Amino acid sequence: MSKFLLKKYASLLPYTPGEQPKTGGYIKLNTNESPFPPSEKAREEYLKAFDKLNLYNDPENGALGAAIAKRYGLKTGNVLLTNGSDEALAFIYMAYADAEHPFAAPEISYGFYPVFSQLTGARNVTFPLKPDCSVDADAFVKTEYNVVFANPNAQTGTFMPVEDVERIVAASPERIVAVDEAYVDFGAESSVGLIKKYPNLIVIGTFSKSRSLAGGRIGFALSSEEIVSDLKRIKYSFNPYNLGRAAEAAALGALADEEYFSECTARVKQAREFTRAEAKRLNMEVVDGKANFLLMRSELIDGGELKDRLFAKKIIVRHFSTPYLSPYIRVTIGSMDEMKTFIKVLENILKGAAK
């Protein structure tokens, strides 16, 4: 780092994204992307927008905001559009977190939460997971702090029922509760229906997973009009044109193609359940998740070594070195053919480890 960097950032530990291989030939199961391309409607709308890229687009992203509001039964004033859901989370921390107002999060969850806490000068308050790797709803009901958690939870995939989410939100109207629903479309239930009842709830979503637009960087936050107004104050102080014309057009096309959305999410769920059953057949311990990934481990081999052996066979999975997660690998659900290959390679590796 340079001598000019402010001292308060000297100890900042940035979030590390999953590996993006520079060459082909890999089965990429490490960054929770969709194995399917964007819908044809998304492609068509994207190409239409190309000829207008010389012009600034609507800084409100009004067309997409209206489409999202309609889908979720809300008003356009309840919608904020952002460059991926990470930017929505950043705006939430910038608006509501500081030394006196930390966000409490699960000890094991999305790696950006502690980064945003450090960046905003807030304490990193966490609560341990329960023995089954699920988020402890009671701990968040009792805390006095703002709350953020992914549901289904990042890294584990476990899902908190909406009635427990409501208990957390209802426990104190004086705090913000942010529910990160990046993986909700793969078999879980959204908390969006609670927004009309609780003005302190923020639900964060993304087009990166279930809408096959990870490269488009399209996210959103849904909340009361007052909170969205707060977040827009931060957005317009940062970059009013934060979601580009082409990305917005692709998102509109994807949102209009519900048939393709349903088909892709159904295929991911089918491949997930196949992978879960086959991994258990191989005596892997598999966390009961409802995301587009599975967290699993074997008594025969450490997670880091298993990740390396899979990589040697051209299969990339995610491994985290923290003590809790170190025994595990996190496996994104790809196409059925990709998951069959993964299981075949995994079986051979485990047979070798058992000798």
Q: Residue 281: CB partners within 8 Å, gap ≥ 6?
A: none
What pLDDT is attached to residue 239? Answer: 86
Q: Give the pLDDT confidence score for residue 9 in this predicted structure.
A: 85
Predicted pLDDT of residue 25: 86
CA distance to 44, 57, 61, 253, 260, per residue, from 48 (Å): 6, 13, 16, 11, 20
State the Cα–Cα distance between residues 210 and 36, nearest whole angstrom.
Answer: 9
pLDDT for the residue numbered 12: 85
Strands annotated E in 43-168: 79-82, 103-106, 125-127, 146-150
Burial class for 20, CB neighbours closer than 10 Å (0-12, 13-18, 19+): exposed
Query: What does each of the 355 residues of the chain score in pLDDT, given as a tens digit?
Result: 798 888 888 888 887 777 787 777 899 999 999 999 999 999 999 999 999 999 999 988 999 999 999 999 999 999 999 999 999 999 999 999 999 999 999 999 999 999 999 999 999 999 999 999 999 999 999 999 999 999 999 999 999 999 999 999 999 999 999 999 999 999 999 999 999 999 999 999 999 999 999 999 999 999 999 999 999 999 999 888 789 999 999 999 999 999 999 999 999 999 999 999 999 999 999 999 999 999 999 999 999 999 999 999 999 999 999 999 999 999 999 999 999 999 999 999 998 876 6
According to the model, what pLDDT value does residue 3 have? 85
Mark 265-277 as b/e (b = at least 16 C-beta within 10 Å).
bebbbebbeebbe
Question: Which residue, among 221, 11, 235, 14, has the nearest Cα to 114 in the 3D structure?
Answer: 14
Q: Which domains does the chain have, with CATH numbers?
A: 7-36+259-354 (3.90.1150.10), 40-257 (3.40.640.10)
CA gap 18, 31 in Å, rounded: 5
Q: What does the pLDDT read at residue 13?
A: 81
Beta bridge partners of 106: 127
Model pLDDT, residue 91: 97
